[in-house]
Amino acid sequence: MSGVSWLVPVILSVISASTPLLLAATGELVTEKSGVLNLGIEGMMLLGAIIGFAVTLTTGSAILGIIAAAGAGIAMAFVFGVLTLLLLANQVAAGLALTIFGTGLSALIGKSFVGNAVPVLPKLNLPILSSLPFIGPILFQQDALVYASFLLLVLVGWFLYRTHAGLVLRAVGDSHEAAHAIGYPVIAIRFGAVLFGGMTSGLAGAYMSLVYTPMWAENMTAGRGWIALALVVFSTWRPARLLLGAYLFGGISILQIYVQSMGLPIPSQFLSMLPYLATVLVLVLISRDRSRIRLNAPACLGRPFHATG
């Protein structure tokens, strides 16, 4: 096993780099499938990060912290939902505003929490499985949020493609007029999808401030919300590809750091842009087949719905 044991820490780093992306992107996928484009992921993540951190620090309970972070994400998404679905505000503008608002609000709340640290979220060890060589530490010694990221993705895939409710949600995203004519509550369904997106963004934020770097620092998500947003397009709205995209991106961003620390003579600026380059490349390859994208892309994405009959 010693031949591949050096891989274990690399893979562990990849998992921690990919998890926040996967969490946030999973929620955004559902939101977009219902036809709503929410550009506020970054803001929702930041608020989730500070609320999760603050609650964990003051109560000493990481579980309460995670629940509060999810709640903070939902609250932000609620504001977005009211603005865009009930008041019919422009989704792009409202989403950007949500990001700016979240950045500022999290900084304001976080002011008194700077300079503190919380213990890292404990790893959940399983009796025999965790002590297996190689796959033990990778698959069975993770924290609750990593497991949650996979579980949520599987649930979303099952929900969207194997349940009636998922079919309705996709129908709302593809043609809100038709769904409305049949009698489905378009606004209510979209609202639910938006709130789900807020919840996973909040969880992604909690992962940042409780696991990835267990502290609060202003703007600590450093643009990961935007990457998550891009990953949804990258995945052409398919959950399985979302997993691939998140781990491809996380993997290459970790790989470039290892390549540097091994002293390979490749310019670091080139390595830094590699994750983005790879994403663009795959995107180009995927979009060669336009009909398949059209098959999965929600046709009503970003279009406001007003029930006028």
Partner 1 sequence: MRRRTFTKLLGATAATAALGRFGLARADEPFKAGFVYVGPVADFGWSHQHDLGRQAAVKALGDKLKTTYVESVKEGPDSERVIRELATAGNGIIFTTSFGFMNPTIKVAKQFPKVKFEHATGYKRADNVATYNIRFYEGRYVQGVIAGKMSKSGVVGYIGSVPIPEVVMGMNAFIRGMHTVNPQGKIKLVWINGWYDPGKESDAAKALIDQGADIIAQHTDSAAPLQVAEQRGVKGFGQASDMIKFAPKAQLTSSVDHWDEYYTQRIQAAMDGSWKTQDIWGGLKIGMLHMAPWTNMPDDVAQAAQAAQNGIEDGSIVIFKGPINDQSGKVKVADGAQLSDDDILGMNWLAEGIEGTLPQ
Residues 11-30: x where in contact with partner 1 by CB under 8 A, - otherwise, as a string: --x--xx--x----------
What is the four-CA torsion angle of 141, 147, 280, 170, rounded to 10 degrees? 170
Within 85-114, the residues that bind partner 1 by CB under 8 A are 107, 110-111, 114
Task: Single out the residue of 64, 272, 274, 282 in contact with partner 1 (rule: CB under 8 A).
Answer: 272
Distance of CA 115 to CAs 111, 214, 236, Å? 9, 11, 41
Rank residues 32 and 42 by Cβ distance to partner 1 and give the closer one: 42
What is the four-CA torsion angle of 42, 200, 233, 102, rounded to 10 degrees? -20
Which sign, positive or negative, has the C-alpha torsion 272, 23, 66, 132?
Answer: negative
Residue 26, CB-side half-sphere exposure with 13 Å CA sphere: 29
**Contact between 77 and 38 (Cβ < 8 Å):** yes
Listed ranges 2-10, 35-43, 72-80, 297-305: which one lies at the site for partner 1 (CB under 8 A): 2-10
Per rule CB under 8 A, is residue 274 in the interface with partner 1? no
Residues 118-157: x where in contact with partner 1 by CB under 8 A, - otherwise, as a string: --x-------------------------------------
Residue linked to tokens 């274990």: 8
Compute the least distance from the CB of residue 130 to partner 1, in Å.
18
Residues 187-226: x where in contact with partner 1 by CB under 8 A, - otherwise, as a string: ---------------------x---xxxx-xxxxxx-x--
Report the distance separating Cα 43 and Cα 103, nearest Å: 5
Task: Single out the residue of 164, 263, 288, 290 in contact with partner 1 (rule: CB under 8 A).
Answer: 263
Task: Write the CB contacts of 23 (distance below 8 Å, at least 6 apart in sequence).
Answer: 145, 148, 149, 152, 200, 201, 203, 204, 207
* Residue ranges that bind partner 1, judged by CB under 8 A: 6, 9-10, 13, 16-17, 20, 107, 110-111, 114-117, 120, 208, 212-215, 217-222, 224, 253-254, 257-258, 260-263, 265-269, 272
